[in-house]
Structure 1
Amino acid sequence: MAAPPQPPTADPRSGATGTAPGVVADPLESAARRTGLLGRPRWFTTLFGTDIWERFSFYGMTAILVLYATEDTDRGGLGMSTGDATLLHGLYMAAVFLASVPGGWIGDRVLGARRAVLHGGVLITAGHLSMAVPVTGSLYPGLLLIACGTGLLKPNMASLLSAFYDREDRAGRDAGFAVFYMSVQVSALLAPIVVGALGEGVNWHLGFGAAAVGMAAGLFQYVRGSRHFGDTGAAPERFATPAERTRVLRTGLAAVTLAVLVYGTDAALGTFRIAHLMALFGLLCVVAPVICFWRLLRNPLLTAVERVRVRTYIWLFLASAVFWALFLQGGSAFALFAKHATDREVFGRTVPASWFQAAVPLFVLVLAPLFASVWTRAGERVPTAVKYAVGMAATAAAYLVMASAATRAADGVRVSPLWLLLAFLLLAAGEVSFAPVGMSASTAIAPATFVSQMVALFWLAGALGGGIGGNALKVSGDRVPGPGYFLALGAAALVTGTALLVWRRSLTRRLGV
């Protein structure tokens, strides 16, 4: 398993010197920064510790969100229909990814990556605390706060991690991101078990409260360890001018005001539905990428080579949207299949449906070091497009497995949990092939002062995918997804993976990664 490289002593791109200009680094401090937990750099263990707790809160909350929303009101739930609950899940996921666009801009141009991560963590903690309050109305402001905080934290966390890598070390970057991605799966494994046991077994709001404790622990870890970052991420490389800040603030306030007026009126008339809000986010998921790519390509700071890379990246963006539309079904369609069509009896006890959400991180922990080793050994021989295609193939296989399971469950028979576990294993293989490689590629091709914004574009593909996936089950109209549903989505993955393989040489040449 490849360890991430040590912080560079001088990186004009990131400013990751660790000391002020003209000051000689203390050799004792330098040694301390190189010898963190398990021999890894202290900057890495700090980021790892923060992300592991943030992921605990994220995976814990999402493991019970749909189950809580569909639970009867007399049992503490919201009593939503399956379609509305999956729309809510898709809406939340889309909001998380959409928020990464302004979050990336704030990190790149206003706060710097380090402070952006801190402020994002505070918002996430506040959101989980809101959901822990046993009042039905507290769910929605809580989800909004978490979405805003995650949008601020995630792209800037990736930017901060990327700043410690040499820009040309592509194989090492891919392997390092894979190792980091593997590390945070530890909490993703534990979170559904802990939060699910508390939420399903005791009280839903107690489960949400456990997620809040996790994010608070992450904040403590981050504040305590940020002294090991040196100057990395302390400030933006290119501050936004006062005129730019004013323009962005006015545009944002105008958009929020308009949304509040429209949906406030909708609610006052008693006609509001989750689908109305999803329609807005669906529109934003389509429009926001177009605007972001257009503005980035028009920026005079980009060189001709960088413009070619960004234009070519659009194809990877679209492939990413397909992947996330399918992968995020694990928290909705797969969760409903686990609850209603899977035999969960083990030694006379019923396993909570939310516990199946721990399967993906468990399998990621097993697969990530293998994939990191393979990518390191392969080096430049396996380009990004091929790694994407591998992820798509694994995802398509997962949906074929689920189609077979749904066929067996068509008459109301509960099928063996091994079907679902095999599908989650294949989804995990897809995630390991796709997510860390995609994030790494985004930082590798990003123009020097736009790293967080490029990572935000990578997550914006998740917004588009989350919006599409959130509507898929609603359109099907099924309480539990059937074989046709899984076959159609599996076919979409197979077609996308095939296209990536066919055009791999052209994509590789134009991307340069």
Structure 2
Amino acid sequence: MWKSHPKALPYLFLSEMWERFGYYLMIGIFTLYLKDVKSGFAMTEKEAADLYGTFIALVFLTPFIGGLVADRYLGYKKSIVLGGIMMGAGYFMMGIHNLPMLYVAMTLVIIGNGFFKPNISTLLGNFYNEEKYLAKKDEGYNIFYMGINVGAFICNFFGAALQILLGWQYAFMAAGLGMFIGVLVFLLGTKHYGNKTDKKGIQEGDMPFSKIVLYILVPSVIFGIIGWLLKGVASDVNLDSAIFGSDSTDAFIFACIPVVYFYGSLYFKAKTEEKKPIGALLSIFAVVILFWAVFKLNGSALTTWADRYTDRQVTGTTEQVFKKLVQSKEVKYSKDSTELYDSSFRLQKENGEVKKVIDYPVYFRNSAKETLPKEGETISVWATSISQSINPGWVIILTPLVVAFFTYLRSRKKEPTTPTKIAFGLLISALSVLVMVAAVHIGNNGTEKVSVWWLVANYGVITIGELFLSPMGLSIVSKLSPKNITALMMGGWFLATSIGNKLSGVLASMWDTYEDKANFFWVNFGLLLFATLLMFALVKNLNKVMKDHGIN
């Protein structure tokens, strides 16, 4: 497999695999750690989801700046190594049980990811720009994408075992160790990189970095501070009187205003021949925000679903395997037991005041009566974070099938255009939410646990949508962007992802406000259906723009 590809590919593949091992291990346990009363930060569902949404939003915002800095000043090697070290240090620091330290750790991960994520992908592309490897470019990126998902798949098993056996700190340390291994592997391949890691410097037509700072970064910081300080009307569910639900959400939304304005100005200031492609890209960015809002619920609302509403009991051979691998916890049943399997805080109104009270979701609370064990009997349940491996598992299985499907259609000259693929990706993603609506009804709105196969099915369907949409989005940006602002437009894609991630946190923070959990998923379905209809309405015009610019 490797012989027909650049010699650097195995090193970049393994570096990315270990980097994603660390990142997804951390993401898999992040909200569980925040909500844990005994060893975490005892946050409510709303607080944990809000912090999670802000975190992953900023993680996807910094690659825009990190890519520009690498292109013009640091080069790719220095940027990748610097970013990896910062992320690894951040993961290690997350295990230190101190809230200010947690925020410092998150900042390191946010900035480090900005230097690592865009530049290792760009470096890979540099090798395939050579004529002898040009035909292998798509295959090379497919192999690289497999590395991402192999790391994302295996990490949660290690994270679960370490958390159960030794505690949260050691699970976060494993994430940091994975990141440092990724940096080491990257450095071992140095002799194969040649001049491909060199900085490009400032090219003709590039926007000066000083202007980017002046017109984007500084106004964003100022608007963010304004958003944090401004207050709305306090209520029972809005204790800090935030305008959009929380101070962090207010700050993020306000900070995005100058950035969104800047991207809008690119269209109005563009040359006549560049207006249509820029307008096409901006419309796609707006639509895919809603996809990421629902897709990124995997680390928040869907983790809660796996934790509280999914039957995680393992028996027989599976139980023995899980015990040997330390992937399961033992839960003792007693009608009057105060033993906790998991715990968190929730908001409750008492004597006219809203107070933070401890909530004990004992594992057996919503188990069907016929499945309850005998008094004093112990059962084994698999660790919640393992559910985070379902999506990357599906990606590994389905990617070759989706690629083969489009190859078949191409051979018959029936392959849909890139915008059409994105539209169908949104439709398929919307259908995945209906699986969760059905799961809620099967479980009588959470009064009984349901099979894990509902989660598996949901992830399976939305993964198809992901494969139709995510790679296609990056492809269309590279195809339609005017050459002198390609980096800026790629930043626009990351901005859309970032806003979608924050919206995901906002959605997840409302989980406890829905008595009927089906309504929560119906809202998500409505958002994706709206995005689907909007995208199909745009397809004809988008296809025309691509055709006019000689793009298939």
Q: Distance in 2 between matches of 1:488 and 1:81?
A: 22
Distance 1:408 1:81, change over 3 A: same
The answer to whether residue 85 in structure 2 is matched with residue 85 in structure 1 is no
Residue 160 of structure 2: aligned partner: 196
State the Cα distance separating 1:127 from its structure 2 match.
1.2
Higher Rg of the two aligned structures: 2
Give the TM-score, by structure 2 length: 0.76
2:459 counterpart (398, 421, 424): 424
1:503 aligned counterpart, secondary structure: helix
Unaligned runs of 5+ in 2: 232-238, 316-378
- Shifted more, 126-135 versus 318-327: the winner is 126-135
* Residue among 200, 205, 214 paired with 1:236: 200
Aligned equivalents of 1:247, 1:177: Cα separation in 2: 33
The structure-2 alpha-carbon separation of the partners of 1:286 and 1:398, relative to structure 1 and needing over 3 Å to count, comes to farther
After superposition, the C-alpha distances for 1:25-75 in whole angstroms (9 at most, x for unaligned) are: xxxxxxxxx73xxx5422222221221111111110000001111111xx2
How far apart, in 2, do the equivalents of 1:117 and 1:447 lie? Answer: 26
Structure 1 counterpart of 2:507: 472
- In the alignment, which residue of structure 1 is the partner of 2:108? 145
The amino acid of 1:85's aligned partner reads A
Aligned partner of 1:445 among 463, 480, 491: 480
Give percent identity, aligned residues only: 25
> Is 1:367 the counterpart of 2:332 in the alignment?
no
Query: What is the TM-score with the length of structure 1 in the denominator?
Result: 0.82
Shift in alpha-carbon separation, 1:180–1:414, aligned structure 2, 3 A: same
**What's the CA shift for 1:494?**
2.6
2:291 — aligned with what? Answer: 323
Change over 3 Å in CA distance of 1:210–1:297 after alignment to 2: farther
Give 1:367 shift.
Answer: 0.4
SS in structure 2 of the partner of residue 364 of structure 1: helix
Deviation at 1:192, TM superposition (A): 1.4
Q: Secondary structure at the match of 2:513?
A: coil
Q: Distance in 2 between matches of 1:129 and 1:318?
A: 36
Of residues 284, 291, 295, the one that matches 2:255 is 284
Change (3 A) 1:253 1:455: closer
C-alpha distance in 2, partners of 1:222/1:285?
34
**Change beyond 3 A, Cα 1:434–1:176:** farther
Q: 1:392 to 1:49 in 2, by over 3 A?
A: same
Structure 1 moving runs of 4+ over 6 Å: 167-172, 240-243, 257-266, 270-274
Match of 1:29 in 2: none
Give the superposition deviation at 1:418: 0.8
Shift of 1:343: 0.5
**AA paired with 1:214?**
G
Tell me the residue number matched to 2:183.
219
Distance 2:139 2:77 in 1: 23
Give the SS at the match of 1:350: strand
Quote the residue 2:304 is aligned against.
336
Tell me: higher relative CO, structure 1 or 2? Use CA pairs within 8 A at least 6 residues apart. 1
Once residues 203 and 197 of structure 2 are traced to their aligned partners in structure 1, the CA distance between those partners, rounded to angstroms, is 13
1:308 to 273, 276, 299: 276
Aligned length: 470
Deviations 1:410-450 (A, max 9, x none): 15111111111111111221222222222233233334454
Q: How does 1:7-406 map to 2 (within 5 A)?
A: 35=3, 40-72=5-37, 75-166=38-129, 176-238=140-202, 244-245=208-209, 275-292=246-263, 294-295=265-266, 298=269, 305-347=273-315, 348-379=379-410, 381-406=415-440
CA distance in 2, matches of 1:331, 1:220: 28
1:231 is paired with a residue whose SS is helix
> For residues 265 and 285 of structure 1, do their structure 2 counterparts lie closer, same or farther at Cα, with a shift above 3 Å needed?
closer
Task: Give the direction of change, closer, same or farther, for the CA distance of 1:479–1:214 in structure 2 (3 Å limit).
Answer: farther
Q: Structure 2: how far apart are the matches of 1:369 and 1:411?
A: 36
| Displacement of 1:239 | 5.8
* Aligned mates of 2:9, 2:509 — CA distance in 1: 41
Say whether the 8 Å CA contact 2:226–2:254 is kept in structure 1. no
1:441-489 per-position Cα deviation (integer Å, ceiling 9, x unaligned): 3233334454443333222111110121111133454388811111221
Contact 1:155–1:453 (8 Å) recurs in 2? no
Separation in 1, partners of 2:420, 2:224: 41
Residue 335 (structure 1) shift: 0.3
Instruction: Select the structure that is richer in helix.
Output: 1
Gaps of 5+ in 1: 4-33
Secondary structure, counterpart of 1:349 in structure 2? strand
